[in-house]
């Protein structure tokens, strides 16, 4: 049975690997987990011995199929717990991440399957992240980054990648959640700030925040 530490490493590697589509550097894992590089290197050697990663010093690391399956199992736990907390216990979407971080390691596979069935098999968590199936499959969607949108485009918010509570509360306040529709009214050429219309309101977001949102064209 993988330890909590092992599961956190696998999740961190999976997230970086999906983002960059290649090997993950020791420095990146250290930054994500707030752990020293020597500690990360030691753990990666242990994960390699267990067949969970392919690791070469100075070349980076990537998950084996076994490691990917384990990472997706924990991610499935996490995202289903987030949905459960919102749907049944009245949590808001800015409150659930830290709770799910703690609970994802404690739930059994049987309990997760019961939660999944109780929720009628949700496909996405409150932030729009896809929930892996029990077989480790993820639903693919053809999305673009909001920061890459052009003026005049009508879009639907699909996924928010930044789960910082302050960011989520701000997006909630201005009406930009998964499922919301918007129109890009203006983009400032000198800093990328975007002026949007959503729900009959005019709102603005920074280029950095726009870069954390995935959308589809309506």
Q: Which domain CATH number covers 162?
A: 2.30.30.90
Query: Where in the sequence is the domain holding 58, given as residue range(s)?
Result: 4-63
Cβ neighbourhood burial of 14 (10 Å; 0-12, 13-18, 19+): buried
**Measured between alpha carbons, how far is 92 from 127 in angstroms, rounded to an integer?**
11
Radius of gyration in angstroms for the set of CA atoms belonging to the chain, rounded to a whole number: 19
Domain count, the chain: 2
Contact between residue 154 and residue 183 where contact means Cβ atoms under 8 Å apart: yes
In a domain, 18, yes or no: yes
- Which pLDDT belongs to residue 208? 96
In the chain, which residues have pLDDT < 50? none
Question: Which pLDDT tens digit goes with each residue over 187-214?
Answer: 999 999 999 999 999 999 999 999 999 9
- CATH code of residue 57: 1.10.10.10
Contact between residue 115 and residue 81 where contact means Cβ atoms under 8 Å apart: yes
In a domain, 13, yes or no: yes
**Measured between alpha carbons, how far is 131 from 199 in angstroms, rounded to an integer?**
28
Q: How many residues does the chain have?
A: 218
User: Domain ends where: 63, 86, 102?
Assistant: 63
- Which pLDDT belongs to residue 1? 60
Contact between residue 68 and residue 5 where contact means Cβ atoms under 8 Å apart: no
- Which pLDDT belongs to residue 99? 95
- Which pLDDT belongs to residue 2? 74
- Which pLDDT belongs to residue 20? 77
In a domain, 165, yes or no: yes
Retrieve residue 81's tokens.
């717990």
Residue 58 CB: number of other CB atoms within 10 A? 7
In a domain, 117, yes or no: no
């Amino acid at each position: 049975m993988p330890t909590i530490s092992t599961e956190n490493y696998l999740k961190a590697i999976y997230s970086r690997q999906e983002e960059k589509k290649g090997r993950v550097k020791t420095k990146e894992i250290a930054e994500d987990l707030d752990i020293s590089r020597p500690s990360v290197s030691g753990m990666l050697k242990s994960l390699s011995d267990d067949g969970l990663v392919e690791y070469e010093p100075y070349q980076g690391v990537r998950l084996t199929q076994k490691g990917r399956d384990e990472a997706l199992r924990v991610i499935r736990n996490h995202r289903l717990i987030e949905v459960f907390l919102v749907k049944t216990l009245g949590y808001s979407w800015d409150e659930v991440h830290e709770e799910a971080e703690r609970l994802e390691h404690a739930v059994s596979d049987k309990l997760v399957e019961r939660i999944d069935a109780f929720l009628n098999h949700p496909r996405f968590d409150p932030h729009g992240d896809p929930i892996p199936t029990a077989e480790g499959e993820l639903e693919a969607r053809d999305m673009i980054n909001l920061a890459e949108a052009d003026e005049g485009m009508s879009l639907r918010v699909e996924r928010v990648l930044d789960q910082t509570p302050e960011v989520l509360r701000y997006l909630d306040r201005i009406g930009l959640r998964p499922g919301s529709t918007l129109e890009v009214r203006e983009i400032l050429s000198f800093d990328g700030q975007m002026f949007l219309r959503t729900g009959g309101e005019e709102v603005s977001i920074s280029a950095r925040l726009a870069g954390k949102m995935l959308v589809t064209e309506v």
